[in-house]
Structure 1
Amino acid sequence: MYKRTLVTAILAAAFSVPSLADINADLQNICTIVKNNDKSELRKKMKKVRDDYNLKLGDVYEGISCEGLSLIRYAMLNSADDAGEYMVKSMSRSDLQKTEKDGSTVEQWAEANGHLKSATGLALVDRLNAN
């Protein structure tokens, strides 16, 4: 009896926790969505991730790279301001202030690369300076 209960508990736990492969599959085309500036599809994708995995954009942001860039940097580089502004507004200020792999923040990168005056850059500055 004890073994059956233990096996049932282990199987239940294994199938109730979504696997890393599942979330990777769900986020597979997020770079294309951002590049195409498809805010609606990005919103749907992030809602699915939130509903299925109880994760927000800030929780998965660091693990996503599009051509070597973070999602917001990639949005700025591709003039995808609708998607970029959505991401900026969806993330916490503390997540937006984190240094990225190259040692600079999104704001520092945007300023150094001439993207701070874009709609995404302006939304980023507004978000970081909000009280």
Structure 2
Amino acid sequence: MKFKFVALIAIAAAQFVAPTASANDQMVQSICAYVADDNKNNLRKALSDNRLRLKNVYDGITCDGLPLVRHAIKHNAADTAEFIIKQLPGSQVAASGDLEWAASNGFAASPILDAIKARSAS
């Protein structure tokens, strides 16, 4: 009887975890799409609706294998990149290596780099 009860709890817990993981995947896909489309307002709304602070979830989000700022640089999403950079601590922006990545990947002329430099200095 004890085994059946434990198995039942494990099955019930698995059912509750699956939708959450799926919802998180959907939210990450939406965030990546908003960044690629340079849609700062929808990004802000998605974060607000889900009661998320970008600085708390930034490290867990990658788009096409890139962090959000690099994804924004790749898609020339200046407004959204500036919003993201302003939401992160200056020390995190400075330590990210985004400037070096941009220079080595052909994005040295991106206006987003100015925002990164300004935030890194603060």
Q: If the TM-score is normalised by the length of the shorter chain, which range does it land in?
A: 0.7 to 0.9
CA offsets 1:76-123 (integer angstroms, 9 cap, x no match): 011011111110111111222344xxxxx1222123224344221110
Equivalence for 1:78: 75
Gaps of 5+ in 2: 1-18
Equivalence for 2:27: 26
| Residue 110 of structure 2 is aligned to residue 118 of structure 1 | yes
Measure the CA separation in 2 of the matches of 1:115 and 1:80: 12
Measure the CA separation in 2 of the matches of 1:78 and 1:41: 16
Q: How many residues align?
A: 103
TM-score in terms of structure 1 length: 0.68
Equivalence for 1:89: 86
Q: Equivalent of 2:61, from 52, 64, 76?
A: 64
Whichever residue aligns with residue 32 of structure 2, its letter is: C
Whichever residue aligns with residue 62 of structure 2, its letter is: S
Contact 1:116-1:122 at 8 Å conserved across structures? no
Contact 2:94-2:119 at 8 Å conserved across structures? no
Percent identity between matched residues is 32
Gaps of 5+ in 1: 1-18, 100-104
Calculate the aligned-residue CA RMSD, in Å.
2.0
TM-score in terms of structure 2 length: 0.72
